[in-house]
């Protein structure tokens, strides 16, 4: 990067200017049936098919914004000896393999970045290791292509995820290092430790944090983001003396497709959102709480009917479109399972998502979104600047089996104002 890029995300739908992604690699190809549950997967993905679908997403993103691949960003910072050694030793200590640090530190920056993501194979040079069923001494980061979860930009701050499962802890440490040390980025980096308070039981992941508007967050509370973490956010904004609204949406504990808020609710335009109605729109079935912080104190905590109603009280009136359409509950459930509510905004009223969710795509089309195949954007047949309100569709037959959608796979670090 020739000049510093300042963090800046004040909405979910402002025109995308810069985004961080991670292309799935050998860490996905090397999944085994034995490792599936430990890696938080429900199935083994075919990397060749994933590559084709991911190319569509990358091609669309590059037509709209600067796209940074996290492996390249890591290689950049690992070339700095003052960053490299402390980071590697910290990562190894966190995973109980401090003895691997010296070996890893002999690698060149790009190779070291690869090993930290794809894993370090177990060298079977003694009997215990020879008999071990483990394949890696440093496990692969199978979930890292869901780059949203390990970090989130809120306003001018980059908040590092505090992952709910230890198997994903290294992802957050790597993203934190990129935020803090990459010379091309400018902005304040914070995490739950720096926010103060007890981090025991406090977990927060980016899939649960939506920036609805300046000073307005919507935060999911469930399997991956806890009330303790939300309490720390409240205390942070209180100490900052900020005016801040936090709308908290309780999520079901199961099934696994409800792990994050963005699996049941995403914003499509200034005045339009997509919701999985059985969770978001059933009054008082799952708690929705509005917290208002003003001049360093909490001035209001009250229950709301649902997220759209809470946002309406803050001046954000949203048309609610239904994940899976309105006709059949089974269709709604099936499409939600395959990330049918998980769309990512390229600009106000321009989103990208999985074309496999046909009932959801039809719902968007009825609301005035033109349906555009990703290939038409990538090949230059369609100019997004001239396209108006639209949904760009990528295949998703294989990627969706990983348990996330286009929002999950993108970490925006800068958006234009709405």
Just list the catalytic residues.
Answer: 408
User: Which tokens belong to 158?
Assistant: 């980059």
Helix segments in 17-123, DSSP class H: 26-29, 33-36, 47-64, 70-78, 81-94, 101-104, 109-118
DSSP assignment of 61-74 equals HHHHSEEEEHHHHH
Distances (CA, A) of 68 to 17, 178, 185, 385: 11, 11, 11, 22
Return the ∠ at Cα 289 (arms to 286 and 294), rounded to 5°. 170
**The Cα angle at residue 147 between residues 143 and 151, in degrees rounded to 5:** 120
Let me know: does 50 contact 398? Beta carbons within 8 Å: yes
Which tokens belong to 104? 């890893």
User: Distance (Å, rounded) from C-alpha 232 to C-alpha 219?
Assistant: 13
**DSSP assignment letter at 252:** -
Let me know the angle formed at the C-alpha of 102 by 101 and 107, rounded to the nearest 5 degrees. Answer: 95
Q: At residue 354, what are phi and psi to the nearest 5 degrees? A: -80, 125
């Amino acid at each position: 990067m020739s000049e510093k890029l300042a963090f800046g995300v004040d909405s979910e739908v402002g025109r995308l200017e810069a985004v961080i992604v991670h292309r799935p690699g050998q860490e996905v190809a090397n999944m085994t049936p034995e490792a599936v549950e430990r890696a938080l997967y429900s199935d083994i993905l075919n990397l060749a098919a994933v590559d084709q679908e991911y190319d569509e997403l990358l091609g669309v993103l590059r037509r709209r914004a600067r796209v940074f691949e996290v492996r390249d960003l890591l290689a950049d910072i690992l070339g700095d000896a003052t960053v490299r050694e402390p980071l590697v030793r910290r990562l190894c200590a966190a995973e109980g393999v401090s003895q691997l640090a010296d070996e890893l530190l002999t690698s060149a920056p790009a190779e070291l970045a690869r090993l930290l993501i794809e894993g370090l194979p177990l060298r079977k040079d003694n009997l215990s290791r020879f008999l071990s069923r483990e394949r890696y001494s440093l496990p692969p980061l199978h979930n890292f292509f869901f780059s949203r979860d390990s970090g989130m930009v809120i306003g001018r701050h980059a908040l590092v995820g505090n992952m709910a499962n230890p198997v994903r802890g290294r992802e957050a440490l790597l993203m934190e290092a990129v935020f803090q040390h990459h010379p091309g980025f400018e902005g304040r980096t914070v995490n739950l430790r720096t926010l103060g308070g007890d981090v025991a039981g406090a977990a927060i992941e980016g899939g649960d944090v939506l920036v609805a508007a300046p000073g307005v967050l919507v935060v999911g509370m469930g399997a991956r983001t806890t009330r303790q973490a939300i309490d720390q956010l409240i205390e942070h904004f209180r100490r900052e003396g900020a005016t801040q609204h936090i709308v908290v949406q309780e999520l079901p504990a199961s099934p696994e497709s409800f792990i994050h808020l963005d699996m049941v609710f995403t914003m499509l335009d200034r005045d339009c959102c997509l919701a999985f109605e059985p969770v978001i729109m059933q009054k008082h079935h799952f708690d929705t709480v509005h917290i208002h912080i003003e001049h360093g104190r909490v001035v209001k905590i009250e229950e709301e009917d649902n997220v759209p109603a809470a946002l309406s009280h803050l001046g954000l009136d949203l048309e609610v479109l239904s994940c899976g359409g309105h006709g059949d509950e089974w269709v709604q459930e099936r499409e939600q399972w395959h990330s049918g509510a998980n769309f990512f905004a390229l600009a106000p009223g321009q989103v990208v998502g999985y074309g496999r969710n046909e009932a959801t795509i039809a719902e968007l089309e009825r609301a005035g979104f033109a349906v555009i195949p990703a290939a038409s954007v990538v090949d230059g047949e369609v100019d997004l600047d001239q396209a108006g309100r639209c949904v760009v569709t990528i295949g998703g037959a294989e990627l969706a089996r990983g348990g996330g959608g286009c929002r999950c796979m993108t970490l925006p670090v800068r958006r234009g104002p709405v």
